[in-house]
A and B are shown apart, each in its own frame.
Chain A
Amino acid sequence: MLRALRVIRIGWLLQLKTMARSGFDVLTAIVTPITYASIAFFLYRRGGGAETLLWVSLGAAFMGLWASTLWGAGNTIQRQRSQQTLEFAIAAPTPFLVSLIGTSLASSTVGLYSLVATLVWGRLLFDVPLELEHPILFALSLPAAVLSLGLLGIVMAATLILYRYAWALANMLEYPVWLAAGLLAPIALLPGWVHPISYALAPTWGAKAVRESVLGGSPLTAIGVCLGLAAVYLAIGFVFVQNFERLARERATLALS
Chain B
Amino acid sequence: MVGGVLSYRALFNWMQPVVYVPTMLGGPLFQILFFAYIGRASGVESDAFFVVGNAVQVSAMAGIFGVAMTIGGERWTQTLSLVLVSPANRFALFLGRALPLIVNGFVLSSFGFVVGLALLDFELEASVLPALAACVLVTTASCTAFGFIIGSIGLYAREIFVAANLAYIGLLLFCGVNVPLDELPAWMRAISEVLPLTHGIQAARLVADGATLASVDGLILREVLVGVGYAAAAYVLFRAFEAAGRRAASFDNY
In the bound complex, do residue B26 and residue A40 qualify as a contact, i.e. CB atoms below 8 Å apart?
Answer: no
In the bound complex, do residue B44 and residue A46 qualify as a contact, i.e. CB atoms below 8 Å apart?
Answer: yes
In the bound complex, do residue A172 and residue B37 qualify as a contact, i.e. CB atoms below 8 Å apart?
Answer: no
In the bound complex, do residue A24 and residue B165 qualify as a contact, i.e. CB atoms below 8 Å apart?
Answer: yes
For residue A54, give the distance in angstroms from its CB to the closest CB of chain B.
15
In the bound complex, do residue B37 and residue A190 qualify as a contact, i.e. CB atoms below 8 Å apart?
Answer: yes
In the bound complex, do residue B30 and residue A175 qualify as a contact, i.e. CB atoms below 8 Å apart?
Answer: yes
A35 is an interface residue with CB less than 8 A from chain B? yes
In the complex, what distance in Å separates the CA atom of A42 from the CA atom of B165? Answer: 21
Given contacts A28-B162, A32-B169, A47-B42, whether A42 and B184 have CB atoms under 8 Å apart is yes
In the bound complex, do residue A171 and residue B27 qualify as a contact, i.e. CB atoms below 8 Å apart?
Answer: yes
Given contacts A178-B34, A179-B33, whether A27 and B166 have CB atoms under 8 Å apart is yes
B121 is an interface residue with CB less than 8 A from chain A? no
Given contacts A47-B44, A172-B27, A175-B30, whether A184 and B38 have CB atoms under 8 Å apart is yes
The residue in chain A whose Cβ has the minimal distance to the Cβ of B18 is A165
In the bound complex, do residue A48 and residue B23 qualify as a contact, i.e. CB atoms below 8 Å apart?
Answer: no
Chain B residues with CB below 8 A from A48, complex form: 42
A43 is an interface residue with CB less than 8 A from chain B? yes
Given contacts A24-B159, A165-B18, whether A43 and B37 have CB atoms under 8 Å apart is no
Task: With a 10 A CB-CB cut-off, give which of B37, B38, B165, B184 has the most chain A CB atoms.
Answer: B38
Question: A interface, by DSSP: helix, strand, loop or mixed?
Answer: helix
For residue B33, give the distance in angstroms from its CB to the closest CB of chain A.
6
In the bound complex, do residue B19 and residue A185 qualify as a contact, i.e. CB atoms below 8 Å apart?
Answer: no
Chain B residues with CB below 8 A from A165, complex form: 16, 18-19
Q: Which of B27, B43, B183 contacts A42 (CB 8 A)?
A: B183
In the complex, what distance in Å separates the CA atom of A179 from the CA atom of B32? Answer: 11
The residue in chain A whose Cβ has the minimal distance to the Cβ of B166 is A31
Chain B residues with CB below 8 A from A176, complex form: 30, 34
For residue A174, give the distance in angstroms from its CB to the closest CB of chain B.
8
Chain B residues with CB below 8 A from A190, complex form: 37
In the complex, what distance in Å separates the CA atom of A184 from the CA atom of B184? Answer: 19
For residue A23, give the distance in angstroms from its CB to the closest CB of chain B.
5
In the complex, what distance in Å separates the CA atom of A179 from the CA atom of B34? Answer: 6
In the bound complex, do residue A168 and residue B38 qualify as a contact, i.e. CB atoms below 8 Å apart?
Answer: no
B172 is an interface residue with CB less than 8 A from chain A? yes
Given contacts A24-B161, A43-B38, A184-B38, whether A35 and B19 have CB atoms under 8 Å apart is no
For residue A91, give the distance in angstroms from its CB to the closest CB of chain B.
27
Chain A residues with CB below 8 A from B218, complex form: none
Chain A residues with CB below 8 A from B183, complex form: 42-43, 46
A186 is an interface residue with CB less than 8 A from chain B? yes
The residue in chain A whose Cβ has the minimal distance to the Cβ of B20 is A168
In the complex, what distance in Å separates the CA atom of A169 from the CA atom of B25? Answer: 11
Question: What number of A-B contacts does a CB cutoff of 8 Å give?
Answer: 90
For residue A113, give the distance in angstroms from its CB to the closest CB of chain B.
16
Q: Which of B19, B26, B27, B179 contacts A39 (CB 8 A)?
A: B179
In the bound complex, do residue A179 and residue B170 qualify as a contact, i.e. CB atoms below 8 Å apart?
Answer: no
Chain A residues with CB below 8 A from B179, complex form: 39, 42-43
B248 is an interface residue with CB less than 8 A from chain A? no
Encode contact with B along A13-26: 1 for CB under 8 Å, 0 otherwise: 00000000001100
Q: Which of A144-165 contact B (CB under 8 A)?
A: 165
In the complex, what distance in Å separates the CA atom of A28 from the CA atom of B169? Answer: 10
For residue B191, give the distance in angstroms from its CB to the closest CB of chain A.
13
Chain A residues with CB below 8 A from B42, complex form: 43-44, 46-48
B41 is an interface residue with CB less than 8 A from chain A? yes
A57 is an interface residue with CB less than 8 A from chain B? no
Given contacts A31-B169, A42-B179, A44-B42, whether A175 and B159 have CB atoms under 8 Å apart is no
For residue A104, give the distance in angstroms from its CB to the closest CB of chain B.
21
In the bound complex, do residue B23 and residue A43 qualify as a contact, i.e. CB atoms below 8 Å apart?
Answer: no
A38 is an interface residue with CB less than 8 A from chain B? yes
In the complex, what distance in Å separates the CA atom of A38 from the CA atom of B177? Answer: 13
Given contacts A27-B166, A35-B172, whether A185 and B38 have CB atoms under 8 Å apart is yes
Encode contact with B along A26-60: 1 for CB under 8 Å, 0 otherwise: 01100110011011101110111000000000000
In the complex, what distance in Å separates the CA atom of A31 from the CA atom of B168? Answer: 11
In the bound complex, do residue A43 and residue B178 qualify as a contact, i.e. CB atoms below 8 Å apart?
Answer: yes
Task: With a 10 A CB-CB cut-off, give which of B16, B19, B30, B42 has the most chain A CB atoms.
Answer: B42
B73 is an interface residue with CB less than 8 A from chain A? no
| 7 A-B contacts (beta carbon < 8 Å) | A23-B159, A38-B173, A43-B183, A168-B22, A171-B22, A185-B40, A189-B41
> Which 5 pairs across A and B sit closest by C-beta, in order of nearness?
A175-B30, A185-B41, A172-B26, A172-B22, A185-B37
A residues apposed to B, CB below 8 Å: 23-24, 27-28, 31-32, 35-36, 38-40, 42-44, 46-48, 165, 168-169, 171-172, 174-176, 178-179, 184-186, 189-190
